[in-house]
Structures are given as structure tokens and as C-alpha cells.
Amino acid sequence: MTDFEYELALLTFTPSVIIFLYIVLNDKFKEPIDCVIKVFLLGIFLLIPAGILNDMFIFSKGEDYLDYSWIAGITEESLKFAAFYFFITKKFNYNERMDAIVYGALISLGFATVENYEYVYVNFPEINSYWIAGVRALTAVPMHAMCGIIMGYYFGKYHFEHEPINLAKALFIPMLGHAIYNYQYSTEASFIVVLVLFFIARNAHKEFIRFQKIKVTEEEVKRK
């Protein structure tokens, strides 16, 4: 492997690894490794329906497709939300509000990691791949992860604090953040969007960490 190939691989995959480890290791009651892997793989699987929907609503627009890139915020976050609601909350070791943040981050990171690989290694010629990897390491990958954390935060508040409005927030806040990011992509404003999402996600994560510290056991009463 040449120095260029090594650095390109680091730029492409390191952001996902760092966020992955941070979220998983800061969970007081660690999730089973098989659940962690399965949810990450579920995020990868979502690329298939996302690709179909994005081809239909975005890339079918021809040369003007960039004007419709914001739609990916709707298609992709809706798919993550549906997978979370119909699959993760019913099939996995989902016992407390922090689990929602962990699984929300993991499903988004699975999606973002392979999407990043496609952008860096498949969609662009080698001459541009280093620049693409660098920009996406600072923006697109964290954006997906932060949206997943925010989605998980509101799922956690919905299921374990029994506040129904938070189910709508779990869908629409990540959807809005993702759509605005895509609309502003390749401009300085995209960095601002990522920073806003970062502070929202950081505060959400810290809130659940504080709650975990006063707990002795993991189990919480979940909304049916």
C-alpha cells in the first residue's frame, strides 16, 4: 500500500471508527457485541432502498440533480427511522434510553461508512478522492452520526419518558438537519450545519450519560 492509499483509507474510515468507539465505550451498560454488529450491518443494508429512492427522486433529474439533493435527507432519515421503530426497538436488547442513542449512532454509522467508501473510491476519479475524503471526514460522516444520535435521543425520550411528541422529533429533526446539510453541501454553511448538529447531539448524549450515572441496573420501563 502506498502512502497515498494509506492516507486515503485513514481519511475514509477513521471518522466512523472514532465515533463508533466513543459511543459504544461511553455506554455504562454495554450492548451485546452481536447487537452492535447487527445494527451496524442494518445501516449498511439501508443503502439499498436508499439508493433506489434517491435514484428515483434525485438522480433521475439529470444535470439538475444537485438541486434536489436535499431530498436525500428525507429518504435516508425516514429509512433509518422506520428500521429503528419497526426492528431495533422490537428485536434488540433495547432496555434503556441510552440504548436508543447507541443504536441510532450505529445504524447511521453503518450507512455513512459504506456511503463514504462509494464517494471516495467509486464515484470520483483518484485525483479528487483525497479532497473528497477529507471534506466528508469533517462533514458528511459526522453529520450522519449526529443525526443518528439525535434520532436515538428522541426515541429514548419517547419510549422511556413516555412523551409522544418526541416520536415526531425523532424523525423530523434529523430529517431537517440532513436536508439542510445536503442543500448547503460544498459551501461554508455545511460546516455550520454540522457544528449545530454536533452541539445538539453532544448535549443529548451528555444528558443520558448523567442519567446513567445514578442508575444501578440498566432496565427501564418502556412505552408499549
Give, in order, the Cα–Cα distances in Å from 97 to each of 4, 47, 152, 204.
42, 26, 8, 11
Residue 88 to residue 104: CA distance in whole angstroms: 9
Domain-located, residue 219: no
Give the per-residue pLDDT at 125: 64
> Can you give the pLDDT of all 224 residues of the chain as single tens digits?
787 788 899 999 999 999 999 999 999 999 999 999 999 999 999 999 999 999 999 988 887 888 899 999 999 999 999 999 999 988 778 999 999 999 999 999 999 999 999 999 988 766 678 889 999 999 999 999 999 999 999 999 999 998 899 999 999 999 999 999 999 876 788 899 999 999 999 999 999 999 999 999 998 888 76
Domain-located, residue 223: no
- Phi (first) and psi of residue 164, to 5 degrees: -55, -35
DSSP codes joined into one string, 105-154: HHHHHHHHHHHHHIIIIIIS-HHHHHHHHHHHHHTHHHHHHHHHHHHHHH
Domain-located, residue 17: yes
Q: Which three cell numbers stand for residue 6?
A: 494509506
Domain-located, residue 132: yes
Computed over its alpha carbons, how large is the radius of gyration of the chain?
Answer: 17
Domain-located, residue 124: yes
Supply the range of the domain harboring residue 164: 3-213
Give the per-residue pLDDT at 188: 80
State the residue for C-alpha cell 471518522. Answer: 15
Give the per-residue pLDDT at 130: 86
Decide: residue 48, CB within 10 A, 0-12 exposed, 13-18 middle, 19+ buried: exposed
Asked if 113 and 45 touch (Cβ cutoff 8 Å), the reply is no
DSSP code at position 31: P
Q: Which three cell numbers stand for residue 178?
A: 440532513
Domain-located, residue 194: yes
Count up the domains in the chain and report the number.
Answer: 1
Domain-located, residue 221: no
Give the per-residue pLDDT at 88: 92
Provide the b/e sequence for 61-90 (b: ≥16 CB within 10 Å). eeeeeeebbbbbbbbbbbbbbebbeeebbe
Domain-located, residue 139: yes
Give the per-residue pLDDT at 91: 79
Q: At what angle do helices 71-83 and 47-57 cross, to 10 degrees?
A: 150
